[in-house]
């Protein structure tokens, strides 16, 4: 079908004019490469920076100012990266690595008569040339792996189909390696099937794949719908083609391949004897005795298959193939089942069918050309995954607040809005699909598969943009965010962990019958730390902004997920990642989620065992490790400073970073690239590190100028921060509502707690607690003074109160001598100008650390002083003060959930203590009040401000 091509001896230089390629990426995440044949077409559509970068051509962007700080480097990084944003808002990229995908594209297209253009064929050849093993000329499971029969047999075959002659130096070298390994007869199951479809291997040499398995009762543990979704979706078209024994018609190329692929004579091979003949280098998951026994039984059945059962089985699996195509608009779950589905639909309906036309159209979504040539992507892209990370990076670093970044962020939000899946699949339960309404996919809405961590990261990105970026529109409604929460909660397994696409359906012993020798853990779904952490962080962030939706369910989900994370931690302290490489990837995500539920380096023995590997340094892995330390609130700056220095040293003058080693993996054995990680995680880490290191420095400065804490002092001490802030241009004080799992749950207090041995001063303890409890950063707080006198709590703690003004970003720099003056005891001469022109603080920047804190709220001074709110009370039974009613200011749902056991609609919080004995602020007589020690200190402050008599 395709004529021979005369190609160079190696792929060092492009086989086409790369300046003629254009990327179409303006259709809701689809990206399709097009080769312009005429000069006129090229002139009418000049290459963009995005086109040039993805092709490895010079972008000609100017060098940026040399960064002086980590934040400058992060800004430079995004200054470059925003040039790579597609018109529709996402960031397209290559997604290659596995070396068994492109052969499927080539063989599937060849046997169905589906054209590949000459320019595409040439660049496919160049890619395979460049990815051949440098020493032996073969190909592995992925392009950084050793040569295998699977990789070498299939890629050799693909090159021959594409037009490379058998005497080409690349082919001679590869054929020698293939023969050394034993020839194509030693291919694993997937290789045998592709070669059988091409008619260069005999179906008699393939273990039986009877479609009748789908006729079993669904309650059986072995029923295929219980298998992992990738395993079953590949098995379905394989079984269809096996039952039909489909094979391409013989031609000169096929006859020649029968001679080239084997050590022995093709026509003398004992094919049934080859069914379990797998080269050891390919065998990651060797056949078990149970699997071989099962194959023997199924092989015997094939000799006397019952026609009505075979017909019914074929009808059932063809229905499943059609439903998969229609559910995904012919994108399908992944490239393997897509090309197998193409062959199956062509066998059943022919090349004139609508199914054939749609597969041809969507096949192009998987074909990507990069600096090394053209290959088949691992899916139709990583659109959602990448956009979610860069959005979070920009918001958390503060780059989202810069005006020049508003437009790319708005486009990103618009893409996130469009990409959320609004409905369940067209074929839902009949196709064994999990719910999708409210989910975000891994790639595009059109592909339509729910993924637990993608839904979590997508929801986080939307909340970040809509709640933390000024003037950003609310495109995704509360109802749709609630739908996303419903998806996440529905995907939690009994263990508390989260899997990828759906709940675990089958028992682990199904791995005993794993027929795909090259992969591990593919027969059922598994819980993954990284999927679980995405669920925890997404739900925790959602709950801060929407505490009235499924509060109890979310709390239970997070609690069970954290329990799973603790159990999944390895003895050396890390977590093993199954989708990124490997420990640094999963550990970063695990520590992020644990930090959101109050577990840090100081508070959790689990977190203290964090492991970071500094060998064979890579920019992306270094960023993961540094971010893990920051999420854990690691107190020492030195390793983070070293990480920053290393990542900045590798930044190029235009703000970009070079692609280094593979970042991702799947199924235990196969690596895959995530090229945009070198932007999202570098920008994220550098920006966070800038703020984190400033925080450590600010805390150190504050400690030098505050009351020293002597750990050997017999008196136990606590410290609280009384944070004053303007919110919506209204001055007031920030308070918190204690969570149900904390002593005095459901009661009002200031942020604070016991002073630890590690705190260098009482003030340091107050600032640390404020950061941990409500995410109030020390560098935002301008300390005005220490409130006097300090009081004891009923438990015997001496509670030291500090008053500070909270700035919306970073407190103004104060000369050292002025700082010392402010660190004096407050007296009646202090006054505050309530009309002072300080910027307002966004309450969305503060976050309640569940379960310790249920809610954070702002009590305006104008409300605080209203007589109707005040009730006369006595502190410790003899000192008069005003208790302050805040029932209408704190959302009832938050107050209720401060103490689940004692709260209802009429009595929001019941104070659990003796009459007339004060501890901290609590609820009395059906009201939520600021009283007790919190109320007393607030009264002392108000008297100093002359707002109370």
The residue among 670, 662, 641 whose CA lies nearest residue 585 is 662
Report the pLDDT value the prediction gives residue 879, as an integer from 0 to 100.
Answer: 81
**CB-CB contact of 594 with 556 (8 Å):** no
Given a cut of 70, the residues of the chain with pLDDT beneath it are: 1, 581-586, 590-591, 593-616, 699-715, 740-745, 795, 810-838, 877, 891-926, 949
What pairs with residue 936 in β-bridges? none
The residue among 459, 416, 284, 366 whose CA lies nearest residue 33 is 366
Contacts of 914 (CB under 8 A, 6+ apart): none
pLDDT tens digits, one per residue of 731-750:
999 999 887 554 556 789 99
Report the pLDDT value the prediction gives residue 80, as an integer from 0 to 100.
Answer: 97
Report the pLDDT value the prediction gives residue 870, as an integer from 0 to 100.
Answer: 85
Contacts of 546 (CB under 8 A, 6+ apart): 478, 481, 482
Contacts of 933 (CB under 8 A, 6+ apart): 791, 793, 799, 875, 918, 919, 920, 921
Residue 604, exposed/middle/buried by CB under 10 A (0-12, 13-18, 19+)?
middle
**CB-CB contact of 324 with 233 (8 Å):** yes
Ramachandran region, residue 898 (left: φ > 0; alpha: ψ -120 to 50; beta: rest)? alpha
Domains of the chain from N-terminus onward = 18-84 (no CATH), 101-376 (1.50.10.20), 383-695 (1.50.10.20), 711-944 (3.90.79.10)
Report phi then psi at 351, rounded to 5. Answer: -75, -5
Report the pLDDT value the prediction gives residue 353, as an integer from 0 to 100.
Answer: 98
* Catalytically annotated residue among 202, 386, 417, 453: 453
Residue located via tokens 């022995």: 264
**CB-CB contact of 106 with 681 (8 Å):** no
Q: How many alpha carbons fall within 13 Å on the CB side of residue 658?
A: 7
Residue located via tokens 């044949």: 37
What count of other Cβ atoms lies within 10 Å of the Cβ of residue 820? 13
Q: Are strands 752-754 and 717-727 parallel, antiparallel or unpaired?
A: antiparallel
Token pair recorded at residue 727: 């919110």
Report the C-alpha gap between 639 and 644 in whole angstroms.
9
Active site residue 17: no
Report the pLDDT value the prediction gives residue 715, as an integer from 0 to 100.
Answer: 59
Torsion of CA 898, 901, 906, 910, to 10 degrees: -70
Contacts of 347 (CB under 8 A, 6+ apart): 240, 241, 244, 246
Report the pLDDT value the prediction gives residue 917, as an integer from 0 to 100.
Answer: 37
Contacts of 156 (CB under 8 A, 6+ apart): 139, 171, 174, 175, 178, 260, 261
Report the C-alpha gap between 406 and 472 in whole angstroms.
8
pLDDT tens digits, one per residue of 779-797:
899 998 888 788 888 767 8
Report the pLDDT value the prediction gives residue 896, as an integer from 0 to 100.
Answer: 44
Q: Give rounded-to-5 percent helix, strand, coil for the chain.
A: 45, 10, 45
Element (H, E) at 326: helix 307-327
The residue among 670, 667, 661, 604 whose CA lies nearest residue 632 is 604
Ramachandran region, residue 505 (left: φ > 0; alpha: ψ -120 to 50; beta: rest)? alpha
R_g of the chain computed on alpha carbons = 32
Contacts of 669 (CB under 8 A, 6+ apart): 141, 284, 518, 519, 520
The residue among 237, 236, 229, 180 whose CA lies nearest residue 213 is 236
């Amino acid at each position: 079908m395709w004529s021979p091509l005369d190609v160079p001896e190696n792929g060092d230089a492009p086989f086409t004019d790369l300046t003629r390629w254009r990327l179409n990426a303006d259709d809701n995440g689809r990206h399709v490469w097009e080769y312009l044949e005429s000069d006129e077409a090229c002139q009418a559509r000049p290459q963009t920076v995005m086109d040039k970068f993805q092709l490895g051509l010079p972008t000609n962007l100017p060098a940026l100012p040399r960064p002086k700080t980590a934040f400058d480097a992060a800004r430079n990084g995004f200054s470059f990266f925003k040039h790579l944003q597609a018109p529709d808002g996402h960031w397209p990229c290559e997604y290659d690595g596995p070396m068994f995908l492109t052969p499927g594209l080539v063989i599937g297209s060849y046997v169905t008569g589906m054209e590949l253009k000459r320019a595409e064929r040439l660049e496919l050849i160049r890619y395979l040339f460049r990815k051949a093993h440098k020493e032996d000329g073969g190909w592995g499971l992925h392009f950084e792996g050793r040569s295998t029969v699977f990789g070498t047999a299939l890629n050799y075959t693909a090159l021959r189909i594409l037009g490379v002659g058998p005497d080409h130096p690349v082919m001679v070298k590869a054929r020698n390696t293939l023969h050394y390994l034993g020839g194509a007869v030693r291919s694993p199951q997937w290789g045998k099937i592709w070669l059988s479809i091409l008619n260069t291997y005999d179906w008699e040499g393939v273990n039986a794949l009877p479609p009748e398995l789908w006729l079993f009762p669904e309650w059986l543990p072995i029923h295929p719908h219980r298998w992992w979704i990738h395993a079953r979706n590949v098995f379905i078209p394989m079984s269809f083609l096996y039952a039909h024994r489909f094979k391409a018609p013989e031609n000169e190329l096929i006859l020649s391949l029968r001679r080239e692929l084997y050590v022995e004579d093709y026509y003398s091979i004992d094919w049934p004897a080859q069914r379990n003949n797998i080269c050891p280098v390919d065998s990651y998951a060797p056949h078990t005795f149970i699997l071989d026994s099962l194959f023997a039984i199924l092989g015997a059945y094939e000799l006397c298959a019952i026609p009505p059962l075979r017909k019914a089985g074929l009808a059932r699996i063809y229905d499943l193939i059609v439903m998969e195509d229609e559910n995904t608009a012919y994108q399908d779950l992944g490239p393997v089942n897509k090309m197998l589905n193409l062959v199956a639909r062509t066998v059943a309906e022919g090349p004139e069918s609508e199914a054939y036309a749609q597969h041809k159209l969507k096949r192009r979504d998987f074909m990507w050309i990069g600096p090394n040539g053209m290959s088949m992507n691992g899916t139709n892209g990583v659109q959602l995954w990448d956009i979610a990370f860069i959005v979070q990076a920009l918001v958390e670093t503060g780059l989202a607040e810069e005006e020049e970044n508003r437009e790319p962020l708005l486009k990103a939000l618009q893409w996130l809005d469009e990409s959320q899946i609004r409905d369940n699949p067209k074929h839902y339960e009949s196709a064994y699909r999990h719910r999708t309404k409210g989910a975000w996919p891994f790639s595009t809405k059109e592909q339509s598969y729910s993924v637990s961590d993608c839904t979590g990261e997508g929801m986080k990105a939307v909340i970040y943009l809509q709640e933390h970026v000024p003037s950003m529109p609310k495109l995704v409604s509360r109802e749709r965010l609630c739908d996303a929460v419903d998806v996440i909660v529905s995907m939690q397994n009994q263990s508390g962990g989260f899997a990828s696409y759906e709940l675990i359906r089958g028992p682990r012993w199904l791995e005993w019958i794993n027929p795909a020798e090259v992969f591990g853990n593919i027969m059922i779904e598994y819980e993954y730390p990284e999927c679980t952490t995405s669920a925890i962080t997404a739900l925790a962030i959602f709950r801060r902004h929407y505490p009235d939706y499924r509060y109890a369910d979310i709390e239970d989900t997070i609690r069970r997920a954290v329990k799973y994370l603790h159990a999944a931690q390895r003895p050396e302290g890390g977590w093993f990642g199954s989708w990124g490489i490997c420990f640094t990837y999963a550990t970063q995500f695990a520590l992020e989620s644990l930090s959101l539920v109050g577990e840090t380096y100081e508070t959790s023995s689990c977190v203290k065992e964090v492991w970071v590997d500094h060998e064979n340094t890579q920019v992306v892995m270094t960023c993961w490790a540094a971010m893990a330390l920051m999420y854990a609130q690691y107190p020492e700056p030195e390793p983070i400073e070293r990480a920053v220095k290393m990542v900045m040293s590798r930044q190029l003058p235009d703000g970009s970073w070079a692609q280094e080693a593979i970042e991702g993996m799947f199924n235990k054995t196969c690596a895959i690239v995530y090229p945009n990680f070198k932007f999202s995680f570098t920008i994220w880490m550098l920006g966070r590190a800038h703020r984190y290191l400033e925080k450590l420095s600010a805390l150190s400065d504050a400690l030098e100028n505050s009351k020293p804490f002597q750990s050997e002092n017999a008196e136990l001490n606590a410290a609280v921060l009384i944070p004053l802030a303007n919110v919506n241009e209204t001055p007031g004080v920030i308070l918190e509502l204690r969570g149900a799992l904390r002593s005095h749950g459901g009661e009002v207090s200031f942020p604070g707690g016991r002073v630890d041995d590690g705190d260098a001063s009482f003030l340091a303890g107050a600032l640390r607690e404020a950061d941990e409890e409500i995410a109030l950063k020390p560098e935002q707080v301008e300390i005005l003074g220490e409130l006097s006198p300090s009081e004891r709590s009923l438990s015997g703690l001496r509670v030291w109160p500090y008053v500070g003004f909270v700035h919306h970003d970073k407190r103004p720099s104060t000369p050292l001598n002025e700082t010392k003056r402010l660190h004096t005891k407050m007296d009646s001469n202090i006054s505050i100008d309530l009309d002072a022109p300080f910027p307002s603080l966004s309450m969305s920047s503060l976050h309640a650390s569940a379960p310790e804190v249920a809610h954070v709220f702002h009590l305006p001074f104008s409300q605080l002083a209203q007589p109707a709110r005040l009730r006369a009370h006595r502190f410790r039974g003899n000192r008069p003060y005003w208790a302050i009613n805040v029932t209408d200011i704190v959302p009832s749902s938050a107050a209720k959930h401060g103490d689940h056991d004692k709260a209802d609609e009429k009595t929001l919080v019941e104070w659990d203590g003796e009459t007339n004995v004060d501890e901290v602020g609590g609820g009395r007589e059906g009201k939520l009040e600021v009283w007790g020690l919190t109320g007393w200190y607030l009264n002392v402050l108000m008297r100093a401000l002359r707002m109370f008599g």
